[in-house]
């Protein structure tokens, strides 16, 4: 059995822009808050401070050198602020705004879970019985009888399906596995089926 680690795209590059967009939503919320009482001023102050913090985090991204954990913390912070905003706007009788903030908070949490799964990396498992490929929702099991060819060259893995589909992925742990041994193993499995 062979475990091949698929090289992932750097999805963290889009997050500074995402933080800036969230900051923009916060400043729009601050501009539409009625300033009737102390509760309104506290909420406005918290949202304005969050706006400044996210603005700085988005603009100075290259200088601060955020890693994935810091981005996850920021996403969690943003989702909690949206939940607080949802409760606040609900108490003001603005149910549509409250619902939209709750939906945004949920989307942020789902986005954070998605990024966390992708950060761990995708694994292609090649065994005697089948080939297990990563997919968005879980794993896709491919039987050897569905394949025409499986070849590993340098850092690339090519999987040729009988349905005329071709999958070409870059793998990270290419040096750990002997090309000749892997290709011979795959050819033996293909010849059996």
* Every domain of the chain and the residues it spans: 11-120, 122-192
Q: Where are the beta strands (DSSP E) in 36-165?
A: 122-126, 130-134, 139-143, 147-153, 156-161
Nearest to 152 by CA among 185, 183, 189, 131: 183
129 three-state secondary structure: coil
82 three-state secondary structure: helix
CA distance 106 to 41: 26
Query: What is the average per-residue pLDDT within 35-55?
Result: 76
% the chain with pLDDT above 70 = 89
Which is higher by pLDDT, 173 or 101? 101
Query: What is the average per-residue pLDDT within 144-160?
Result: 88
pLDDT given at position 175? 64
Q: What is the CATH number of domain 122-192?
A: 2.30.29
166 three-state secondary structure: strand
Which is higher by pLDDT, 15 or 131? 131
Which is higher by pLDDT, 126 or 97? 126
Residue 34's pLDDT band, with cuts at 50, 70 and 90, is low
CA distance 156 to 171: 6
pLDDT above 70 for 11:
no
Tell me 7's DSSP state. P
pLDDT given at position 68? 67
pLDDT above 70 for 30:
yes
CA distance 193 to 130: 11
pTM of the prediction?
0.65
């Amino acid at each position: 059995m062979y475990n091949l680690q698929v090289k992932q795209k750097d999805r963290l590059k889009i997050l500074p822009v995402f933080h800036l967009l969230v900051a923009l939503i916060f400043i729009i919320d601050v501009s539409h808050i009625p300033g009737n009482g102390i509760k309104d001023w506290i909420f406005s102050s918290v949202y304005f401070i969050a706006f400044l913090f996210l603005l700085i985090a988005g603009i100075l991204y290259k200088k601060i050198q955020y890693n994935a954990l810091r981005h996850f913390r920021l996403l969690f912070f943003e989702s909690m602020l949206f939940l607080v905003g949802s409760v606040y706007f609900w108490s003001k009788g603005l149910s549509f705004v409250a619902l939209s903030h709750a939906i945004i908070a949920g989307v942020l949490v789902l986005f954070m879970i998605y990024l966390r799964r992708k950060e761990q990396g995708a694994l292609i498992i090649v065994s005697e019985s089948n080939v297990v490929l990563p997919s968005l929702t879980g794993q896709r099991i491919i039987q050897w009888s569905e394949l025409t060819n499986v070849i590993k060259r340098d850092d690339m893995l090519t999987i040729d399906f009988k349905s005329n589909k071709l999958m070409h992925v870059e793998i990270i742990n290419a040096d750990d596995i002997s090309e000749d041994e892997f290709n011979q193993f795959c050819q033996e499995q293909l010849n059996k089926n």
